[in-house]
Structure formats: C-alpha cells, structure tokens
Chains A and B, each alone.
Chain A
Amino acid sequence: MFYREAGQFKASYREDQQIFPIRQDRIGIVAAIVFFFLVVPLIANQYWLQAILTPVLIFSLAALGLNILTGYAGQLSLGSAAFMAVGAFGTYNFMLRMDGIPFLVALVLGGLCAAVVGILFGLPSLRIKGFYLAVATLAAQFFIVWVLVKFGWFSNHSTSGVITAQHVEILGYTFDSPLSKYLLTLAVVVVFALLAKNMVRSATGRKWMAVRDMDVAAEVIGIRLMGTKLQAFAISSFYCGVAGALYAYMYLGTVEPEGFNLDLSFKILFMIIIGGVGSILGSFIGAAFIVLLPVFLNVAMHTSLGEFIPANIAANLELIIFGGMIVFFLIVEPHGLARLWQIAKEKLRIWPFPH
C-alpha cells in the first residue's frame, strides 16, 4: 500500500530507462540527499561530522568499489586496501609534483592510477577463479604496500615513510573545517554512487552479472570475458583509489602505507558481506555497520558496565559481542542487510493484505 507502483505508467523510453523507475524511490533518494546535504550540517556536531559520518562515507565508497568487482562481476578480491593506497599516494604525488593542479583533478588522476594498477593485478583473473583469484589479489595487497615503503619517491623521501595531505582548495575556498570536508566527501560519494547505480543496471552491469553467474555461458552469448573482467577490475580499483585519496585528504590528513594493510582489505570485504553482495545500498549499510557498531559498543559499554568490570574484560567483551552480532545477522539474513530492506519493500507493497 505504501510502496505501490500501480498506476505509474511509463509512456516513453526515457521514463522507462531512468535510474529509479519507481516514484517512491525517487522521492526517497532525493529526500535522503537533501537530508544529508542540508539537514545534517545543521544538527550534527563536529564529533559526528569528523569521526562518524566522514569515515562511513569514505568506507562506503571503498565498499562500493569492491562490490562492483565481487558482488556484480563475481571476482573475489583481497586487495581493496592496496588500491586505496595507490589512490592516496597517487593523488598526493599529483598534488605535490604538478603545481596548481585542482584537487578534484588530482583525485580523479589518483583514481586512474589505482585503475591501471587494478588492471595489472586483474590479469590473472582471466585464468584463475574464485578463491585462487583471492590469493592472487592478496599478492597485490602485499606488493603495493611494499613498493610504497621501499621506494622513497612515492612519499617524497619522507624519512618516516608517511605522506601528509596538502591543503585542499577548490575555487579559492579552503576545505579545512569538518563541515566542508564532510560536504566535499558527500558530494564525491553521491556522484560516484549514482554513477555506480547507473552502471550496474546498464549493459555494462549486465555483462558483469552474466560473467559472474556463468562465464562460459556469457562467452557463448558474445560477451568478451577479458574486456569485461578487466573493466570491472579497473572501475572497482578506481572507486577504491578515490576512496583512499579521500581517506587521506578528508579524514586522516597523514597516512602511512602500513595503514592500508590486509586488515583494512578484510574490513571492506566484511562490509559488503554484511551489507549485501551485489547491492549498492548494501555497501552503505555494511560500511555503517562495520564502522559504527564497535564505536557504539564501546560507548555503550562505558556508560553501562564500565564502572563495574575491569577495562580488559570490557574491551574483549565488546569484540565478542561484535563478532556475535555479525554471526547473528548472517544467520538471520545470509544475503546481507540490504536484503532486509528489499523484504521490507515487498511487505510495504502488499500491506495490509498479504497473500
């Protein structure tokens, strides 16, 4: 009843092909964008903007990148953090070595660097599949971090091997307040999320899904495996690279190659598993879940039991609860949290007269 598309007739191809064909979805998306752009800045304080919302957005973008590769094109990857590192160090070097380059251009160029590296490490995917491919991308994870530490040029010969993000200025406005950083991150993430949404429902996305579901069948109906797989690797790495650059410029400020370690790759993988493999919305939900739940547990533990039990036990208890909740959600909904939303939509559509 609330989510009924009956009566919404599509009279032209244009209407039939828009990103969100259902009116309720369109209203929902516009409302969400308006909320995050206009209402959140009014109600959120610095802590929320800087420590909660910005990282969630950045990890959502990285998860989106991995979701394109793993969820849509079916290629398992454990190198997401390394591609983020390429994006961050790429953007840094463009900013450093090309005088007066606009930040957004450097951001895209950094993403392109990650895309190129992604294609290189995607080449094995033409011969190996599944878990074996995961191992091959694991090589990317270790190799890229090693290269960034080994060759001083990437960090401008900093003795400690770290890079420090330069000031970001767009059209004379300096992005240094938490609010401006949040808004810039949000703008980039919204643009890329809409692009991704558009991609996965177009021919590109359908090719990915065909390859994912059965690559021999896809080849038989005329989809070039090499091009499709490498394209998925390129676009996925591009997204991760942009996320990495935002991680460095909009969130941390100073990053070290070791910050982009295997743990981070796993974290991004968990985001899409929890959020929903093969779902744009799932990337956002998964990132929010993985980033916010430990923080929430920590705060909850402090306010409730923190006074009575030793800190060591409290800290370990948080991890146990976190792990337990992941197991719980995966048992209740193996397809990820995004699936819950889909079920809710179905229910809303037929309420109050289920079959």
Chain B
Amino acid sequence: MQFKKSLMLGAAVAGLAVTGYAAAAEQYIGLPTYRVGAYAAGGTGLFGGWIDYMTMVNERDGGVNGLKLVWEECETEYNNARGVECYERMKKGGTTGNTVFQPLSTGITYSVLDRVANDKIPLVTMGYGRTDAADGRVFPWVFPLITTYWSQSTAKIKFIGMKEGGMDKLKGKKIVNIYHDSAYGKETIPVLDAQAKQYGFEVIHIAVAHPGNEQQSQWLRVRQEKPDWVILRGWGVMNPTAIRTAARTGFPRDKIVGVWWSGSEEDVIPAGDGAKGYIAAGFNVAGTDFPVIKEIQKYVYAKNMGNMEDKSRVGSVLYNRGVVHGIVTLEAIRTAQTKFGTGKALTGEQVRWGFENLNITDERLKELGASGFLPPLATSCMNHEGSGKVKFQQWDGAKWKVITDWIDSDQALVRPMIEESAAKYAAEKGITPRDCSKEM
C-alpha cells in the first residue's frame, strides 16, 4: 500500500475542486473496493489481484509505455449509495479525472449507468452487469467485457452437449436450473428456454430464496425429477450449501455446472469433500503456473509490496480474475496510446476508445504471459463484449483443474436478444443508437 497516492481527498471534504499535483504523467484509476461486509472475500481477492498487477507493471516497466499508474481506493461496502458516492468522489481524481470505473457489483453498475455518459468515464463490467450493454450502439460508455451471463449460459449448454457427445444428443435430456431468486438469478431463464426449444431438451427452473442456506426441498425435487444435469446459478452462501445438499441427496457432483460466481475456492472449500468433481465455468482460470502470476510474485511479493494479506490466495480464481481486470484495463490504455500518443495521461474519453478497439490476440496474450489465462478479446463499436468464451474447471478436492479449452458461446442466439433488449432500453430512454459505420 506504500504506493497508494491519496490524491485530493482532503480537498474533496472541503468541497473544493483541486487539480492533482503536476508531476510526470500519471494515469489515475479509481478503485471502488469492498473489503468489509458479506462480500469482502470477493472484494479483497479481486481488487488485490488487480492492484498487484498494476504494481507489477509499475515496478517492472515503469508503467504502461512509461505512463505510471496511480490509483485510489474507496470503500463501497457493496452498497449502491456508497458506490455512487465513491464514483462522484473519484470522478475528478488525478490530472484527467477518473478514467475507468469497474465496480465489481451489479447494483453499483446500475446506479452509475446514467452518470458515466455525462461524465465521459467508461464503465467496465467483466462478467456481470447489464447484459444488453454488449450492444455498443446504445451503450457507448458501458463495456460488459469478455462474456455476459447470456453468452456464458449458452456456453454451458454447449459444454453439456460436448459431454453428452454432440448437441443432437441433448434431445430428450432433462436439465434443472437452480437459481438464486433475484434479478441476477433469473436473468438466464429466457436464454435457457430458447435453447431448450432449439435442442429439444427439457429445462426445469427451481428457485432458491436469498440467501439460500437451506435447500433441502429444492434438492429433493431434483431427486424426483432425476435430471441429467443441474445448472447452478448461485451466489454467496447458496453455492456451498447447494453442493453440500447435492452430496447429501446423492446427486453426482460432476453433473453440476456452476456459473462463475459459483466457481471460486470460497464456494467449494466450505462444502468439504462433497465438492469433489463439481464443475464451474470461468472466463479466467485458477493457478499460479502462468508467467504473469510468476512475475507478480517476483516483482511484487518478493519485495513485500503485495496487496494480499493471505499470500496463499494468490492464484485463486478470484485473485486471478482481478489480474484479468488489470490486464484488460492496461491493454485498453495501451490501445488508446496508439491513437492518442504516449507520455501523457489519457482522459476517460480516450480510454473509452481504447476499450472499444481492444484486440488482445493469442500472440499478445503470450507476450503478456497469460496464454490460456483469459480468452482472446476483440471489441468494436457494435460489440462491447468481445469474446464470450469460457473455460470449464473441475474441483478435485484441493484445486481447480481446467477440463476444457475455451468454449464459444452461441452468438447467433444471444446477439439478437441483446439487440432487442438494447433497442427497448433506447426507446424507453429516448436514445438514438450510434451509427457504427461512422465511428473511427
């Protein structure tokens, strides 16, 4: 934490507009962290990985092409109102203002959705947030990068199809969708229904009320239905409970496929031995065997500058997801530098261009030391998602083991639904979608 520059905070209290100190060019990034409360385990891991990656780049390369990174944390407690306060407080940070906002909370994402366009700050939501924001024509400032809930759901069906020996084998199969009874949990139901019709399998939706620490009746129902597969769309304490209850009712764990919010060490370790064999999707993988993680250990932890108090969490799913956030954000800055030049701090508008023109190829991932760590990614004005690919990992009782390559989503199905939903939003809000042929 020695590196954290507390910019302008005292001034923010006094309500004064303050320009940051003039020094060598520094890129300011405001981090809306959550280190306390019910989701602290996620927040410390994700933001820890992200901060460690930025520290590593500062230490190893002196920043992005010489542009040093500075950041400031603001505690949101995963609370919408606090998140808005943090957003407003950090908006004017640094020399150029905040240049990217990634709340790692769907609630805060919605709360600042209207504000980012006015303030010209890109809002990046990797793996959560508003799915239809993948339509960049209606949401120029919002980037649900890598994959959305809908894309990921189709990838799960594809994975199940692979396991069954082909998509045509899905016909007549029965899949149970156990979901967290909230807007988040229900979001994939229309996609699953559409796919059930397309491939001829039967899908049964079973809700689990928040927080989900008692699921006996749901899993008894699963036992009656005798499904071939169970999709777990859980959140928080609901995940280990689901796995434990599945073990108790005797449902094979290797037939349960979880969403990525159900696929971290924190979700399976509390379930104990019962979790062995459980499968979860992820747009990043776990483990420390990647050059990028090794570099972090070498440049950051060896010098005792790491952000994680519990060093054994380095390489966990959530930590690595934080590193992915760091990689993608810094690649966006690098992309923006190709157009707007290096050596000076970029504005939010310029960084937005970087996010919209990302092209992280396999070769580039190799240079970054992250081959197979995250999927290749290419965004455009039309497509703010960029990839849609996920890998599946299986818990072997001690660690996550990757069991597939990157599995593609079914964009032919998802994209029209995204466009329809975005068009509805545009009509409601009176937004004229951008004409992407005129974008540069």
Q: Which residues of A contact B (CB under 8 A)?
A: 43-48, 50-52, 55, 96, 146, 149, 156, 158-162, 164-167, 251-259, 263, 291, 294-296, 298-300, 302-303, 306-312, 315-316, 318-319
Contacts and interface: CB of A to CB of B under 8 A. Distances in A.
B110 to A, nearest CB: 4
Contacts of A299: 9-10, 12-13, 89
A149 B88 contact: no
Contacts of A162: 110, 130, 183
Nearest to A155: B183
Secondary structure type dominating chain A contacts: helix
Contacts of A315: 33, 35-36, 75
B81 interface: yes
Nearest to B81: A55
Contacts of A296: 13
Interface stretch (B275-283, B343-351, B371-379, B425-433): B425-433
Given A298-B75, A307-B1, 10 more contacts: A158-B424, A159-B131, A159-B190, A160-B183, A162-B183, A165-B114, A257-B182, A263-B79, A299-B89, A302-B73
Contacts of A166: 428-429
Interface of B: 1-2, 4, 6, 9-10, 12-13, 15-17, 33, 35-36, 44, 72-75, 77, 79-82, 84-85, 87-89, 91-92, 106-107, 110-111, 113-115, 130-132, 181-184, 186-187, 190, 209, 307, 309, 417, 421, 424-425, 428-430
A259 B379 CA distance: 31
B429 A252 contact: no
Contacts of B91: 47
Contacts of A254: 110-111, 113-114
Contacts of A55: 81, 84-85
Nearest to A59: B81
A161 B75 contact: no
A161 B15 contact: no
A309 B182 contact: no
10 contacts: A149-B181, A149-B186, A158-B424, A253-B111, A254-B113, A256-B107, A258-B107, A294-B82, A310-B309, A318-B75
B13 to A, nearest CB: 5
A51 B88 contact: yes
Nearest to A262: B210
Contact of B110 (A96, A159, A255): A255
Contact of A252 (B80, B88, B186, B187): B80
B88 A256 contact: no
B80 A303 contact: no
B84 A51 contact: yes
B1 A311 contact: yes
Given A48-B15, A149-B186, A164-B429, A251 B84 contact: yes
Contact of A312 (B35, B82, B106, B429): B35
A304 to B, nearest CB: 9
A300 B75 CA distance: 12
A96 B429 CA distance: 11
Contacts of B6: 302-303, 306-307
A160 B430 contact: no
A254 B77 CA distance: 19
Nearest to A295: B85
A50 B84 CA distance: 9
Nearest to B34: A315
B36 A164 contact: no
Pick the 6 closest A-B CB pairs, nearest first: A161-B183, A253-B114, A51-B88, A315-B35, A254-B110, A51-B85
A162 to B, nearest CB: 5
A298 B74 contact: yes
Among A158, A309, A312, the most chain B Cβ lie within 10 Å of the Cβ of: A312
A298 B132 CA distance: 34
Contacts of B10: 299, 303
